[in-house]
Amino acid sequence: MEAGDKEDISAECKARLEGFKAIAESALDEVMPKGGEGDAVLAEAVRYAVGSGGKRIRPVVCMASAIAVGAGAEDVRYAAAAIELLHNYTLVHDDLPSMDNDTVRRGRPAVWKKFGEANAILVGDALQALAFAAAARQPRGTAQIVAELADKALGVVQGQVEDIDGREKTVEAVERMYARKTSDLFVAAAVMGAVGGGGSPGEVEALRRYAFNLGLAFQYEDDFFDGDSVFGRDVARSRAKARTDDALAALEGLSGDATVLKELARGLLARIL
C-alpha cells in the first residue's frame, strides 16, 4: 500500500470517532491541573503538552473497546484520559535532548524547547502521575485497570531502553522493541476499555490480541512512510498487512459493536484519522 492508496473509512465511523474525541477532550480537561497560586507554570506546561493536537487514537481504542463489549464510550472516559496522559508523558520525554533531541512536536515547539529541559522532565513526571490518578477514577475494574496501565507503562520504558541501545537489529529484536514502544499502549487502551466496560475475560483477551497486532501494524506502516524501516519497504508493507489481518480476526465473537475497531484497523494504515 503506497501512501497515496488510502482506504477510507465510512462517514458514520468518522462521526463516531469525533464523538469519542470530544469525550476524551472533556475528560482530559477535567483531570488536568487548572493552575493556581504556586503551580501555574506546571499547569500551563501540562496543558500545552496534552493540548498540542494529536489524533487521540489510544483513547478512541479504549472507548471503542468498551462499545465492543456492550458498554458505552462515556463508561470509560477516565480510562481514555489516562491512556492519553501516559502517551503524552512518553512524547515529552522522547523529545528531550538526551533522548531524540526533537525541537518540534505536532507543529509547535517541543515542551523542553518552550519551558526548558528541567521543566519538561517534571511535566513528564506529572503526566504519568495524572494518568494513574485518572485511571483510579474508573468505577468498574479499577484495580485491574491501574495494574494494566502500570504494566504497559513499564513496557514502554523498556522499549525505549532497547531503542537507545540499538545494537541488536534482528527481525525478532526489532519487533520486540515495537511491541513495547508502540503496541503496549494500544494494548493498555483496549484492555482498560474492555475491563471498564464489563467485558468477559475472553473478550478482554480478544481485545488484547487485537490491540497488540494493531500496534505492530501501526509501527510497521509508520516506518514504511518515514522511509526508515530496518526491514525494507516491501517487508514492512507485508508485515503491516499481516498484522492488520490478525487484528481483525481477533474481533470475531464479541458481544458488542466492533465496527469502529474494524474500520480503525483498516483505515489506520493510511493515516485517515
**CATH number, domain at 190?**
1.10.600.10
DSSP string of 32-76, one letter each residue: S----TTTHHHHHHHHHHHTS----HHHHHHHHHHHHTT--GGGG
AA letter at 96: L
| Contact indicator for 268, 215 with CB cutoff of 8 Å | no
Q: Which residues of the chain have pLDDT under 50?
A: 1-6, 272-273
Residue 191 lies in a domain: yes
Determine the structural domain holding residue 230 and report its residue range: 11-36+56-83+139-268
Residue 232 lies in a domain: yes
pLDDT value, residue 206: 98
Residue 91 lies in a domain: no
Residue 71 lies in a domain: yes
Of 32, 54, 52, 53, nearest to 42 by C-alpha is: 32
Residue carrying the nine cell digits 502517551:
87
CA distance 69 to 24: 19
> 47-59: buried (b, 16+ CB within 10 Å) or exposed (e) per residue?
bbbbebebebbbb
CA distance 100 to 91: 10
Distance set, CA 157 to CA 62, 150, 178 (Å)? 21, 11, 12
> The whole model's pTM is what?
0.92
| Contact indicator for 172, 182 with CB cutoff of 8 Å | no
Residue 144 lies in a domain: yes
pLDDT value, residue 132: 98
pLDDT value, residue 136: 98
| Contact indicator for 249, 206 with CB cutoff of 8 Å | no
Of 51, 49, 7, 45, nearest to 29 by C-alpha is: 51
AA letter at 218: F
Q: How many domains does the chain have?
A: 1
CA distance 66 to 76: 7
Could you give the 3-state DSSP secondary structure of residue 109? strand
Residue 113 lies in a domain: no
Residue 3 lies in a domain: no
**End-to-end C-alpha distance for the chain, whole angstroms:** 17
CA distance 106 to 129: 23
Residue 48 lies in a domain: no
H-run or E-run covering 250: none
CA distance 20 to 80: 9
Percent of the chain whose predicted confidence (pLDDT) is above 90? 72
